[in-house]
Amino acid sequence: MTIRQRDRQLTGVLQLSRRRFLHTGIAATMYPAAIASGDPTASEPQVAEPRATSGDVRCEPSWEKRLTIRVSPTPTSDADLVGANERAIQAAVDYAARRGGGTVHLLPGVFRLRNAVYLADRLRLTGSGEKTVLIKEPSSASPLIADSDWYDQEITLADAAGFRVGDGVVLETTNPHNGGHDVVKRTLVARSGNRFKLDRGLRKNFWLSGKSKASTLFPLLSGDGVRQIVIENLVLDGNREANDNLNGNYGGCIFLQDCRDIAIRDVTARNYNGDGISWQICHDVIVERCQSIGNADLGLHPGSGSQRSVVRNNLVRDNGNIGVFFCWGVRYGVCEKNRIEANGTGVSIGHRDTHNLIRDNDIVDNRRVGVLFRPERGRAFAPHHNRLEQNRIRDNGPADGVAVDVQGEVEDVRIVGNQIEETRQPMQRVGIRIGPKTKDIYLADNRISGFATMVDDQRTG
């Protein structure tokens, strides 16, 4: 396939994304345009008058009103449920889910969480903008003082003072067989002294020899295997100073695993001791007009295997590690019109992340690198066929830093029409660095200024 053919293929994906679901309400599953529109010129039979038929969600009518449940942290006549914690929100989510989906509207106020809110299919979770804040309670941690086998459904803690029934917990141990780090997320559902029953079996061995421990850590919003979700108009605060770190493969202000058809709009994810928003093996995710600020690790984390993510018009600022992190096998994604500022690294793309477009972003004042193409484990794992276009990349990295660093055995990367500038002292700074093992790196129409070296091309021949 030629570069032009690949560009046309990606352009088709982008055009599809602009017509996608979730403009105002619950996600609609994507189907051929002719079926959805009743196009009389199409060859296949058309659905001209859609009806609600049992079990058929393909061409359901667009209903004017759906179920809405209002939740308030304080008593008010506008609320259907009152409660200032995750239990009230979860009750509303579960009620909507049992009736086929709907809207849960969080009214103004502060909700304090001791466990995640677990999302359900066909749900719209909306707040009242900056007036609705979900904040994580401080975490507690304790080592285990009794061995628990993989088939067990209970743990015994050395110090249970900070643990309550209903808490979300993370269990960590060193695997006794291979030395790896095992992590399991569960909920405490019953208690006798310092013994707690879990909502599900462990499925891992938590032995004293592995220095096993439990911590009250969890994502604020969690989705596992759900689809057709809208999250919008609220603030999520991870209370970073009072909580231990939780890796972004397991948590964040929002954490999604094996989900599809998701829209996250006008959400602030801040101060989490981990990632702001993380989605793993999730497809057709839109994150737009959000703020991911002051999180310890990654701002936005399109995770392993995620296809067709759209990250647009967001502010990603002051995250401790990386602003936008393309994990493993992230493909056909769009990252555009974002401000990615004052993070460790601005944008990082690597392990089999192919056919992505990074366009029209402001990538400024990041401490290590503006945009990094990671070296990875050789050609088979490199981030090929990606495009970096029309971005404004300014004042990134230390005295010997690099604005755009293309490393490893990456091939077929287009770096076109970017404004790459250094307004501090040139020092030993480099505008674009192209590693010696790269191939077919295409540069055109970039405006590069203020660096000691504008382009450092380390290829030979």
Residues of the chain whose pLDDT is less than 70? 1-42, 461
The number of C-alpha atoms within 13 Å of 124 and in the hemisphere containing its C-beta is 20
- According to DSSP, the β-strands at 260-270 and 227-237 are parallel
pTM of the model: 0.91
Tell me the CA distances in angstroms from 334 to 134, 312, 324, 330, one per residue in order: 29, 8, 11, 10
pLDDT at 43: 74
Residue 299 contacts residue 292 (beta carbons within 8 Å):
yes
pLDDT of residue 9: 55
- As beta bridge partners, residue 373 has 349, 406
Q: How many residues would you count in the chain?
A: 461
**Number of helical (H) and strand (E) elements in the chain, helices listed first:** 3, 39
- In angstroms, the first-to-last Cα distance of the chain is 25
Hey, which residues does 135 pair with through a beta bridge?
112, 237
- CB count, 10 Å around CB of 151? 9
Beta strands across the sheet bearing 298-302: 117-118, 221-224, 254-257, 277-280, 298-302, 322-325, 345-349, 369-373, 402-406, 430-434, 453-457
- pLDDT value for 49: 87
The DSSP 8-state label assigned to residue 122 in this structure reads T
Q: Which domains does the chain have, with CATH numbers?
A: 68-133+218-457 (2.160.20.10), 141-215 (2.40.30)
Q: Are strands 117-118 and 411-416 parallel, antiparallel or unpaired?
A: unpaired
Predicted pLDDT at 34: 43
pLDDT per position as a tens digit, 281-291:
999 999 999 99
Residue range 109-160, pLDDT digits in tens? 999 999 999 999 999 999 999 999 999 999 999 999 999 999 999 999 999 9
Q: Are 71 and 80 in contact (CB under 8 A)?
A: yes
Q: How far is CA 3 from CA 208, 228, 384, in A?
A: 55, 34, 11
Check residue 22 and give its pLDDT: 44
Structure confidence at residue 40 (pLDDT): 59
Contacts 24+ apart (CB under 8 A), 457-461: 458/433, 458/434, 459/434, 459/435, 460/436
Q: Which two tokens stand for residue 435?
A: 């590693």
Distance CA 276, CA 296 (A): 8
